[in-house]
Amino acid sequence: MPLSLRYFIVIIILLAMLVPESGAQRRRKPRIWEGFSVTGRLGANHFYGDFVDNGRTNMTGGVTAEKELTTFLAARASLMGGKMSGTQFASDDTENAWFDNFYGEFNVGATFKPLNVLLGYFKQRTFNPYVIGQVGLIYYNATKYWGVYGQSFTPPFEYGSVWNESSGITPSFSGGLGLSLWINSQWSVNVEAVGTVPFTDELDGHKEYEVPGGGIIQTESNDFYYTTSVGLTFLINDSRWKNEPKYNRKAYMKTRSHYRSSSKRNLKSINKKRRKRR
């Protein structure tokens, strides 16, 4: 047999061995999706600053992506946004001034699940609390309006006219707590409360203010807000981490009951469709 023909046969055999394996690798999801989940969030932000006596709560929403790094630690990135507002009252309970702010925030950080350390890793744990730590950037676009305080100037400022506008991007750090409720192998519900400290005093458009007769007073840098939200989480692909051996039986019973109930619902749905066709 010629040498070139031998080389040709060897190459064909190698390709035949490699092609099925590469096809299997293509069908398998990339490892980046192992333990990767996406959460849609909806809740409220609560603003606290030197300019707010009332009206501090507004709607907010966003999305969070998370990936398990270990059995107790996960990396996360979130994109949230909404509206902030607040009103400052005068001594006679009239509106001294008020502001509104449309903002967006991008955060990266980590979540820590203490029960997975104390009690062992268990994917089907019904309630699983966690701790959140993040750093990020906040975009803000705030407008402050004159209330009755503007009437003390000469000439007076029109009630409801713009006092000040400020916008920009500022770094921030945040932290909080969360609690996850397991529903099934792909879906879970969670609640979170996260406090955020921005590196600016202008989220309420109120870094300084004028006094009648002239002069400017600087305010304290104490803007702060926290966000409470409810999330619905979808697990794209299960992580490679395995339950602690002591939880194998519990995990089996929990997932079996879930799949049985799902099968019963699917069977009822199929039977209904069959009856309608008749």
**DSSP letters for 199-264:** S-S-TTS-SEEE-TTS-EEEPPS--EEEEEEEEEEEEEE--S----GGGHHHHHHHHHHHHHHHHH
Give residue-wise pLDDT tens across range 178-222: 999 999 989 999 999 999 999 998 898 887 777 676 667 667 667
The whole model's pTM is what? 0.78
The tokens for 9 are: 């046969």
Q: Is the peptide bond before 155 cis (omega within 30 degrees of 0)?
A: yes
* 254 & 233 share domain: no
Question: How many other β-carbons are positioned within 10 Å of the β-carbon of residue 20?
Answer: 9
Give residue-wise pLDDT tens across range 93-151: 788 889 999 999 999 999 999 999 999 999 999 999 999 999 999 999 999 998 888 88
* 256 & 199 share domain: no
* 220 & 235 share domain: yes
Domain holding 203, by residue range, is 32-241
* 231 Cβ neighbours under 8 A, 6+ residues apart: 39, 40, 41, 42, 64, 189, 190, 191, 192
* 214 & 123 share domain: yes
User: Average per-residue pLDDT in the chain?
Assistant: 83
2: confidence class by pLDDT, cuts 50, 70, 90: low
Domain of 68: which CATH number? 2.40.160.20
> Has residue 200 been placed in a domain?
yes
